[in-house]
Amino acid sequence: MRIISPVDHLAEAGSLLQAGAHELYGGFVPPEWRESYNLLASLNQRTFDAAQIDTEAELAEIIRLTHAAGCQFALTLNAPFYSDGQLPLLLDYLDRMVGIGIDGLILADLGLLHLIAGRYSALELHASTMAHISNSGSLRFYAAQGIHRAILPRHLTVGEMAAIAAAVPEVRCDAFLLVGKCPNTEGLCTFHHVNPDRIWPCEIPYEIVPAEDGRPSSTLQAAMARQASWAQTDRRHGCGLCAIPLLKRSGIHGLKLVGRGAPTTQKVRNILLAREFLTLAEVEADFNAYRRRAMAAHRARFGADCHPNICYYPELLSDEFS
């Protein structure tokens, strides 16, 4: 399995590759986009500078370093949609990005996909989690539009991912691992992540209050309890180490680490953890023994116990696996 890490600047690229990343991905906002739209009109689902590679020259050097290590680089261009007026600018931008050597493009907008399908024959096209590929039919549809690879949404179970990957084997599927677990279904979420303090809407505690004229249904009660529980957990403790043996067996191609804009030390620790447990998955035949090691590693990494809110694969926390 491939370990896929975010990268935000040249100074950290060597450390990430040395730690064991097989692929890097990152974003770069060109000056012409900043002049026309600024960061609030999302080019790549990040609206703060720390999550963007600073210059085109720096991006080119990151790509050169990545290729020298025998690894690949994918550029993020995964806003849910772009306007017709933005597309000419995006094509000029992509022509330059392909010219400096990007290997892949992470995108979600079908209009952009139609525009570039066949334009860059050597480019691996990835369907972002923003494309909301939640079943084999949607993956098959995107494959017919030219997608070669897909990042499956965060809310799917291991079993659902396995079924999707098996049904459309011509598309390589990646799954999320480590940090950034979100309570919302990302491809359907319309929140804007523009707070300068980087406190996102899904992190702001709020209360669901039933209508005064009736008792809440069991479904609403469950929603109220689940929402309240997010105030007691930290989405930046997102994990998924337990699932690596099952994901590997299910044909998942890559483990995508979250964290564009995060400190380098955090990225490196995530890569090392993923690499450690990929190795352990090769030699530990007892899944429950593996799972205990993974839960202990989570506790050591984040100083907190596992919780369904922050587990990418919360079905593994059920009694069936204890």
Please tell me the pTM assigned to this model: 0.92
CA dihedral 239, 235, 107, 252 (to 10 degrees): 20
Q: 255, 4 in Cβ contact below 8 A?
A: yes
Task: Give the model's pLDDT for residue 320.
Answer: 52
pLDDT means per 10 residues in the chain (322 residues)?
Answer: 98 98 97 84 85 97 98 96 92 97 97 92 95 97 97 95 97 96 82 75 76 78 81 88 96 96 96 98 95 96 92 83 49
Residues in the chain: 322
Kindly calculate the radius of gyration of the chain based on its CA atoms and give it in whole angstroms: 20
Task: Give the model's pLDDT for residue 39.
Answer: 67
Task: Give the model's pLDDT for residue 322.
Answer: 46
Query: Using N-to-C axis directions, what is the helix angle for 158-167 and 136-144, rounded to 10°?
Result: 40
β strands within 124-209, DSSP E: 124-127, 149-151, 172-177
Q: Domain residue spans in the chain? A: 2-188+203-321
In whole angstroms, what is the distance from residue 264 CA to residue 13 CA?
Answer: 9
Task: Give the model's pLDDT for residue 38.
Answer: 73
Please determine, looking at this structure, whether the domain spanning 2-188+203-321 carries the CATH number 3.20.20.70: yes
CA dihedral 81, 87, 90, 92 (to 10 degrees): 170
Task: Give the model's pLDDT for residue 17.
Answer: 98
In whole angstroms, what is the distance from residue 154 CA to residue 134 CA?
Answer: 10
Count CB neighbours of 79 within 10 A.
Answer: 19
